[in-house]
Each structure stands twice: as C-alpha cells, then as structure tokens.
Amino acid sequence: MTGNKMFYASLTFMAAFGLFSTAGAEKVIIAHRGASGYLPEHTLAAYAMAYAMGANFIEQDLAMTRDHVLICLHDSTLDATTDVAEVFPDRKRADGKYYPADFTLEEIRRLHARERLPRRFPRETRLFQIPTLEEAIQLVQGLNASTGRDVGIYPELKDPSFYKDEALPFEQTLLEVLAKYGYDGPDANIYIQCFSPSALMRLREEFKTTLPLMQLISDNKMLEGLGYEKIAGYAQAIGPEKKCIEENPALVTQAHAAGLKVHPYTFRKEFVPKAYADVKEEMRTFLFKYDIDGGFIDQPDLMKAVVDEQKQ
Ligand code: G3P
Ligand code: CA
C-alpha cells in the first residue's frame, strides 16, 4: 500500500469509530450574499434580513473601485445587478461590459442595486444601493452591539488576478479595512475566502495575516491537486461546491482529519437536486449525514430551521 493509500485507509478506519465526527458541534449558517433569496444580493437590506433570520456569518463578495474602495459585489462587472447601463451608457469597455474598477465610489453611489434572478424580488426598483465593505461591517458590528449576538463576516476576494493586472491594491486594502474594524488574529469572527490558492497563500506569507482563511473548491480535481494537508498549511476551512461532497462524501472526514472545517456552497430553495424533496431535506443530509460544519444558503431562515430541529 502506498503512503497516500495508507493515510486514507487509516482515516476511513478512524472515521468508522467516529473519531473525526463533529456531531453535536454548532453548525454555522452562512448567509450567501445576505438573505439573497428574498432581497437583492449584497445590499444592506439583505444583510440585515440575514442577520435577523439567525445567520452566524454574512457573506460579502468583494470588488474594488478606481479610487481603491472595496465594495460588495459578486461580479467583476456591474452589468447583471445594477442599472449602470442606464446611468453611465458611455462607460463600457471594448468588451461591452462595465467594470467597477473604472468608476469612483462617488459614481458607484449613483447606481441602484438590482435583483439578479427571475421570480425573486422585483428587478425594476430603485430601493437599494451598493454598499462598501466598511458599511457592511458597520451594519454587522452595529447589530452585534444592539442585539448582544456575535455574528461574523465572510468576505470573498473575487478575481484577485484581475485587480493585480489593474494595479489596484485589492488584498492589502481588505486587510487594512479588517484591521480598522478590529478583525485581528486566528480567533477573529471572520473567514476570508477565495478560489485562488495563490492569493490565499499570499495573504498568509506576504501580508502575514493570521486571520482565518477559507479555500473555495470548484471541483474534486482541484481538491485532489491541492491536497488536504497543503491547504491546511495556510487555511482553516474549505468551501467545496456541493457536488464535490455528493461525489465523494469521505471528503468531509478527510478534511476534518486535516483540521479543516467544511463549508460547502450554495443551498438554494429554487435549485434542489432531484434526489431531495426540498432544500431542507438536502441540508439535513449535508449537515447531519455528511457532517459538514455549515454552509452557504440564499434563505438563511431555512437552514436555521433545519439546525434548530436537532435542538428540540
Ligand atoms: O463563496 C461561496 C460561494 O459564494 C461561491 O460562489 O459564485 O456565489 O461567489 P459564488
Ligand atoms: Ca461568494
């Protein structure tokens, strides 16, 4: 038996005796882009709703403006979730897209955030703006002060190589903002997530952050290429696409054995695999059969209900 095979065989044996089980440990509800199933993603309203629904973490995907301000936006472009084409019709690049990196914060303030998906919140409203990361943090920390709860943040560095090419200080600014708001050291109530292993390693090695990091995983090939032990050298958690766990449920035990939490993405009421009656059944399976530590959900109230079932 090769070294690798022996390693995984011993994990299987230990898992059979429950040595890596996190049964009984608190599962964390991560509000995906806020309560994005009910309100347009990455708006302060969606974050506040997620908080009120009992989320343990609120996610902020990040983009950067031309004047170096971090804003909460999923895409590298403004097209899908704002009215940019109506407000600034002449500001698209040759590829026909509008990039936040070409706008100042003052200009971003003139846009309205819109619903991305059909059959959710009506798209044609002018109720919402794009928040900055600082505003998102102020909201969460303000609610922590007024409620006595301790909800964390879960920012994602989206497309760091794009900002590197644009000569914009993406990672450095994130760490500066987090330090300003007291996120400091390995016990801070935050995970910084990214799909790029090199960006996360740079945070650890070049920027010397000691904050918790989470490696996003798009497929099992990526996970196999990286390996649990290597990831555990710089991160505290992995965020696999849900199908990675469906294809290989032992992934969770193997990650736990390496000291990594497992926070898969994304549970959505409207997109449930055929094997499950509804998203609650899907989440029960992931949380209590596969033993994930928490997950990203567009409807945080539904995951809260599933987590609370175990407490009754
Ligand atoms: O960050 C977890 C999950 O949100 C990754 O996918 O595209 O929704 O950012 P995406
Ligand atoms: Ca994300």
Residue 19 pLDDT class (50, 70, 90 cuts): very low
Contact predicate 298/273, CB 8 Å: no
Whether 10 has a pLDDT exceeding 60, the answer reads no
- Say which of 32, 42, 256, 263 is annotated catalytic: 32
Predicted structure pTM score = 0.93
Who has greater pLDDT, 20 or 233? 233
Q: What was the pLDDT predicted at 311?
A: 86
266 CB under 6 A from ligand 1? yes
Over residues 45-64, the pLDDT tens digits come to 999 999 999 999 999 999 99
For residue 24, the model assigns a pLDDT of 56
- Answer yes or no: is the C-beta of 60 below 6 A from any ligand 1 atom: no
Give the residue, by CA position, lying nearest to ligand 1 atom 5.
265
21 confidence band (pLDDT: 50, 70, 90)? very low
Grouping H, G, I as helix, E, B as strand and the rest as coil, residue 277 is coil
205 Cα: distance to centroid of ligand 2 (angstroms): 23
- Radius of gyration (Cα) for the chain, nearest Å? 20
Q: How far apart are CA 164 and CA 92, in angstroms?
A: 20
How far is the CA of 115 from the CAs of 71, 73, 171, 283, in angstroms?
A: 17, 12, 27, 25
- Cα–Cα nearest to 115, from 104, 123, 105: 123
Query: CB-side exposure of 220: number of CA atoms within 13 Å?
Result: 12
Helix ranges (DSSP H) in the chain: 3-16, 44-52, 84-87, 105-108, 133-147, 160-165, 170-180, 197-205, 220-226, 228-232, 242-247, 250-257, 279-284, 300-309
Distance CA 195, CA 178 (A): 20
Q: Does the annotation count 32 as an active-site position? A: yes
Whether 296 lines ligand 1, by a CB cut-off of 6 Å, is yes
80-131 tens-digit pLDDT = 999 999 999 999 999 999 999 999 999 999 999 999 999 999 999 999 999 9
Helix, strand or coil for residue 153? strand
Query: Cα separation of 192 and 190, whole Å?
Result: 7
pLDDT, mean of residues 286-304: 98
Question: Which helix or strand (DSSP H or E) is residue 227 part of?
Answer: none
Ligand 1 pocket check for 265: Cβ under 6 Å: yes
List C-alpha distances in Å: 287 to 14, 48, 53, 213: 20, 25, 18, 21
| 154 Cβ below 6 A of ligand 1 | no
Nearest CA owner, ligand 1 atom 1: 156
For residue range 159-215, what is the model confidence (pLDDT) as tens digits? 999 999 999 999 999 999 999 999 999 999 999 999 999 999 999 999 999 999 999
CA–centroid distance, 4 to ligand 1, in Å, is: 31
